[in-house]
Chain A
Amino acid sequence: MSAPFRVEHATRSSQVGMAIFAAALVALAAAPFWGGRDDLRLLSEIYAYVALASLWNLLAGYAGLVSVGQQAYVGLGGYVLFASTILAGLHPFVAVPLAGMVAGVVALPVAGLMFRLRGHYFAIGTWVVAEVFRLIASQISALGGGSGISLPAGIVTSMASSRQMREFLIYWVALALVVVVLGAIVLLLRSRYGLALTAIRDNELAARSNGVDVARTKLVVYVLTAFGTAMIGALIFLQKLRISPDTAFSVNDWTAFVIFITVIGGIGRVEGPIIGTIVFFLLRQTLADLGSLYLLMLGAVAIAVMLFAPKGIWGLIADRFGWQLLPLERRLHFAPDARTT
């Protein structure tokens, strides 16, 4: 006997949204056939930021774990890739999921320590962890110590012999990874964990009093986020072919940008980081010549958004028109209603 009602996630706008995503996916998967080398690089970078921002959004926007130390896992992922390919001879594409697994395991004791710090202090604690990782990385002389190391030519050519094919492969892996990350986040939010997470986002106390195991849910999200972030990190540095402690654990590149993207796009909504990344790259393409002034403006815009439109660009749109690009809402349809059964 089926339940007297069923849950429907899709709305008209989410069906349109999914159609747009599907069309975009086909077009982007074919990018090697219509785009040049620079286009592929730019698109891969965009994918990396969409994924990093979506993961940070899950962590901060839903689970309320405001981390400013996610560069710990970006860098860890990169270093696991370099270590496992150079020292253990693994294939780079095998090293990417390995990086995720290592980070997931490392995240457990880290969470054990960091969760002792309340709210605000958690943020700076995560930064300390990233610093510790950076300092340890700079002590590993087999991986170039403080000055870093390049991926040896033999490992690079093991992916594919021609440079063009390599770039295509890395591009497709990057696209696949962002699709997997976004898909996993959507599935997670549609699961009962998602319901718990949304409840925690809206009111932690109320969630707890309704029987949500807040600590456990936060731990799961923290570990999953570390897993995904490290895989993205591995891919970023596979594309760069070079890693150093300062680039791998850069707070500006992997946390400041990611936070600004999420805040501007709309924190606490899956669509936010996607919109934010598009805005971020449009701004960067036009203002990149300004150098440090560009970062300064970005910080000012993020502060203004936080103060005057705390739900970000997508929050404004969603509130105004009731849109959702991804099927995440929950609407109950009862069995007697013939139209839905």
Chain B
Amino acid sequence: MEWANIIIQGVLIGGLYAMFAAGLALIFGVMRLVNIAHGDLIVLAAYVALMTTDTLGLNPLIAIVIVVPIMAAIGYALQRALLNRTLGDDVLPPLLVTFGLSVIIQNALLEAFTADSRRLKAGPIEVQTFEVAGVWIGVLPLLQFVVAIAVIAGLQLLFYRTALGRAFRATSDDQSVAQLMGLDNRHVFALAMALSLAVIAVAGVFLAVRTNFDPAIGPARLIFGFEAVIIGGLGSMWGTLAGGIILGVSQAIGAQINPGWQLLAGHLAFLLILAVRPEGLFPKVQT
């Protein structure tokens, strides 16, 4: 039963990684941009949640409804003002600009909030658990996992059932034809970034409730999200969930063998997939 417990914990944390990955995959799918500042934006969302809960005295899980629009607005502005200028055939400008952005966000957070570890308090739900067939499941991790599934299902619906999703897919397929059909690419890209940061906002709040955070932890979150995307396969939303779960379970197993191996086991799982199945487990779009 001990191993069942460990694997369940890994699956549940995988939901969080899937949310990191979904935002990343969304951006890449629509505009072929890999946002190196992704992890730092997750941490920024955690700090926005911290400020919201501190000033309004809200439970962080309720504060999500405030953090999401704030982050979405930041995403829209970021894309319109900065990132749209970097898009083109050359991979260098978007990578270097988002890398610079990552350094800027980290150091701005450091200036504003110091390097101290912080945590959001969500009240009694943090410690509530229940037992199913001998396995103890935390209410909060389960909630986080359910939210992750809802977010991914929502993104999937949005992509394939709405006009906005059609615009995303059209722009992804062929930018110039999409433009000919009357789409404003700059606006479509900005909406995609806003959506990505909205997903990040949800992930950031759950991250901040479950673990301590400080301004320096962003890059590791970017890496988890990235690994989940590659494991799951490019261009597939449900793939990111599978990738997140595989990453989470690998880390949980590694940590059980030796606490120092938790992160290493996740990275090795990623490298193994890259070696034997570089297109990922559930590929959809070949890029």
Contacts and interface: CB of A to CB of B under 8 A. Distances in A.
Contacts of B223: 124, 127-128, 131
A135 B220 CA distance: 13
A26 interface: no
B230 A121 contact: yes
Contacts of B92: 60, 64, 66, 267, 306
Nearest to B216: A252
Contact of A299 (B33, B34, B103, B270): B103
B71 interface: no
Interface stretch (A112-120, A178-186, A272-280): A112-120
Nearest to B267: A132
A306 B100 contact: yes
Nearest to B274: A113
Given A120-B33, A299-B103, A128 B96 contact: no
A147 interface: no
Query: In this complex, which of A131, A138, A263, A299 has the most chain B Cβ atoms within 10 angstroms of its Cβ?
Result: A299
A116 B274 contact: yes
Interface in B53-109: 82, 85-86, 91-97, 99-104, 107-108
B100 A113 contact: no
A298 to B, nearest CB: 7
Nearest to B226: A124
Given A64-B91, A113-B274, A306-B97, A131 B103 contact: no
A43 B86 CA distance: 35
Interface stretch (A153-161, A163-171, A208-216, A289-297): A289-297
Given A124-B222, A131-B267, A259-B96, A299 B107 contact: yes
Contact of A251 (B107, B219, B275): B219
A298 B106 CA distance: 13
A17 interface: no
B85 A307 contact: yes
A295 B93 contact: no
A53 B251 CA distance: 35
A173 B260 CA distance: 37
Interface string B201-227: 000000000000000000110110011
Contact of A127 (B103, B219, B268, B271): B219
A296 B103 CA distance: 7
Nearest to A302: B100
Q: Is the interface of B mostly helix, strand, loop or mixed?
A: helix
Contacts of A121: 34, 226, 230
A307 B99 CA distance: 13
Interface string B269-287: 0110011001000000001
A259 B93 CA distance: 12
A142 B49 CA distance: 43
Interface residues of B, number: 44
Contacts of A135: 260, 263-264, 267
B36 interface: yes
B136 interface: no
B110 interface: yes
B32 interface: yes
B259 to A, nearest CB: 11
B28 interface: yes
B111 interface: yes
A236 B268 CA distance: 29
Interface in B22-46: 28, 32-34, 36
A64 B91 CA distance: 8
Given A120-B33, A128-B271, A259-B99, A296 B107 contact: yes
Interface string A43-73: 0000000000000000010001010100000
B95 A123 contact: yes
Interface in A241-296: 251-252, 256, 259-260, 263, 267, 292-293, 295-296
A310 B99 CA distance: 15
A139 interface: yes
Nearest to B279: A116
Given A64-B91, A119-B91, A263 B275 contact: no
Interface of B: 28, 32-34, 36, 82, 85-86, 91-97, 99-104, 107-108, 110-111, 219-220, 222-223, 226-227, 230, 260-261, 263-264, 267-268, 270-271, 274-275, 278, 287
Sorted nearest first, the 10 A-B pairs with minimum C-beta distance are A120-B34, A299-B103, A292-B107, A116-B278, A119-B91, A296-B107, A299-B100, A303-B100, A299-B104, A135-B264
Interface of A: 60, 64, 66, 68, 113, 116-121, 123-125, 127-128, 131-132, 135-136, 138-139, 146, 251-252, 256, 259-260, 263, 267, 292-293, 295-296, 298-300, 302-303, 306-307, 310
Given A121-B226, A139-B264, 12 more contacts: A66-B91, A116-B274, A120-B32, A131-B267, A132-B271, A139-B260, A139-B261, A259-B99, A296-B107, A299-B102, A300-B104, A306-B93
14 contacts: A66-B91, A113-B274, A116-B278, A123-B95, A124-B222, A135-B260, A135-B267, A136-B264, A146-B260, A296-B103, A299-B102, A303-B97, A306-B86, A306-B92
